[in-house]
Amino acid sequence: MNAITSLLSLFLAAVAVGQIQPSGVTRPIAQDCGFNGTVVCVNKYGAVLPYHFNRSISNNNADYDYRNTSVRNASTFDLLGGADFVVFDQQRGMQYLGSNPSYEFMFAVSKAVHEAPVYAPEQNLLFISQLAPPPGYLPQLVVNLNDDPPTLSEYLPNPPVYAPNGGTFRDGVIVFGASGGNDSIGGGEQRVSLRTVDPATNRSTVLLNNYFGFYFNTIDDVAVHPISKDIFFTDPQYSWFNALTDTAPQLPCASYRFNPSTGATFLVEDTLEQPNGIAFSPDGTTLYISDTGAVTGTIDPRLGSQGTTFNTTGKRTIYAWDVSNNGTRISNKRAFYLAQDWVPDGLKVSQEGLVLTGSGHGVDVLDDAGQLLIRIQTNYTVQNFAWTGENLTTLWLMGNNGISKVEWNITGQKLT
C-alpha cells in the first residue's frame, strides 16, 4: 500500500467514526454566563461549527431559530435551549443586560397578531392592538401598569379603531396606523388610515386615509422624526393577504412621510418588496426600515385574500438610510441586517442607538453597524415591543399567543 492510499484509508476511517472536524472550532461553542443559566454566551459567534450541523427551515406552522440548530459534536450548544438571553458580544452584551436581567412571560393571549404597542406615560398604560382572527374584531388591549401585578383588559376608542398595526406617541396622543378597511365596521365605514387616540379622553381622530383618492394598502408601522415631528409610515400589502381589507391593493408597496400641519403626504421609498418596521436613531440622522418580502401572498383580486407563505430565501433584511434636510430627505440606502430568524418585523432604536427587531421567536439587539449583540428568546413569535416606566428600561414584547416583559440596562427613546 503506497503513502497516498494509506492516508486516504485513514481519512475514510476517521470520517466513518465522525473524527474529522473543521479546524478553527472554538471550544466551548456556548457557555453559561450566569443568572441561573438564563444567560448563555456564544463564543466567536459560533463562526465555525463542528460537523455535522443542520438547521431546519421555518415555515408558517413551525419556527426553527438558531437554538434549534442540530450540532452533533458540541454538547454545550444545547445550553441555548434554556436561555432567556443569548449573548454574542460578551463584553458589550453583558453590560447592556446589567446586574439583574430578567425575562418574564406575563399574559397568554390569542393566536392573533398583536402589534402597535404604545406607552402613554401620564396614564402609565400600555396600549396593544390585536388583529384577525376574526376579521372585523374591534376591541384592542391595554396593560394597566398602575396595578401590581399589571393587568390586561380590552378597550375601545371612541370611535373604534379597526386593526391598528403600528403605533407611536406624538404631542401627547397615540398615533395608530389603522391597517383595516371595510364599509361595515362598527356600524360604519373605515379605511386604512393614520388615526390618533387621546389616552386621556379615549377620543379618536382620522389624520389621513388616502393618497390622492387611492386607499392605502395596510399602513403597517409608524415612526415620528425626532426633529421635524413628521410621521413616517410603511405601506405593504398584508391587509389584503390577511383579509383585513375588502379592497385589493391600489398602490405599490412604499413608505411615506406625512406632515399633519399641511396634510401633505410624500413618497420617501419604493424599492422594498414589503416595507414593514420603521424607526429613527435618537438624533434623527438615520432611518431604518425592514423588508419582510419573504412573507408574501397574491394580490389578484379574483382570488381574494389567500393568506401568506414564507420563503427563507426572500427579503428579510433591515435597511438603513441617511436622513438630511431637517428630516425630509433620505439617501444612501444600504443593507443593515439579515434576520437570523423568520423576518424582522417590529423595529425600534434605543436611546443608546441600539437597533432592536422582533424576529421570529425573539428580539435581536444590534449595534449601529448591524452587529448582533444579544438575542432575547421567547416561546412565541414576537411582532413588536415597547419600553415603559419612568426610566424606560422595561421592555414589553407582544405577538402571537403571548405578552412578556424584560428588565435590563437598555433604555427606550422618550416620545413626546
CATH number of the domain bearing residue 309: 2.120.10.30
Taking only the tens place, the pLDDT of each residue in 341-364 is: 999 999 999 999 999 999 999 999
Work out how many domains the chain is built from and give that number: 2
Q: Which three cell numbers stand for residue 100?
A: 439583574
Radius of gyration of the chain (CA): 23
- Inter-CA distances, 339 with 12, 29, 152, Å: 38, 21, 31
Which of 21, 51, 83 finishes a domain? 83
Q: Mind listing the pLDDT tens digit for each residue in 285-320?
A: 999 999 999 999 998 888 888 889 999 999 999 999
Same domain, 60 and 108: no
Q: pLDDT value at position 187?
A: 76
How far, in Å, CA of 180 to CA of 133, rounded?
A: 12
Task: Check whether 192 has a pLDDT greater than 50.
Answer: yes
Identify whether residues 75 and 203 lie together within a single domain: no
* Residues facing residue 166 across a β-bridge: 177
State yes or no: pLDDT of 372 exceeds 90.
yes
Q: Is residue 3 part of a domain?
A: no
Integer Cα distance of 303 and 401 in angstroms: 29
At residue 21, the pLDDT reads: 87
pLDDT interval class at 145 (50, 70, 90): very high
Structure confidence at residue 17 as a pLDDT band (50, 70, 90): very low
Q: Which domain holds residue 170?
A: 103-349+379-407
Based on the domain organization, do 215 and 281 belong to the same domain?
yes
Is 373 inside any structural domain?
no
Domain assignment of residue 254, yes or no: yes
Q: What is the pLDDT of residues 200-229, one digit of tens each?
A: 999 999 999 999 999 999 999 999 999 999
* Residue range 180-191: mean pLDDT, rounded: 86
Mean pLDDT of 370-375: 98
User: Does 180 map to a domain?
Assistant: yes
The verdict on residue 323 lying in a domain is yes
Average pLDDT over every residue of 84-102: 98
* Residue that is last in its domain, among 48, 83, 118: 83
Position 372 in a domain: no
Q: Mark whether 59 and 131 lie in a shared domain.
A: no
How far is 255 from 247, CA to CA, in rounded Å? Answer: 19
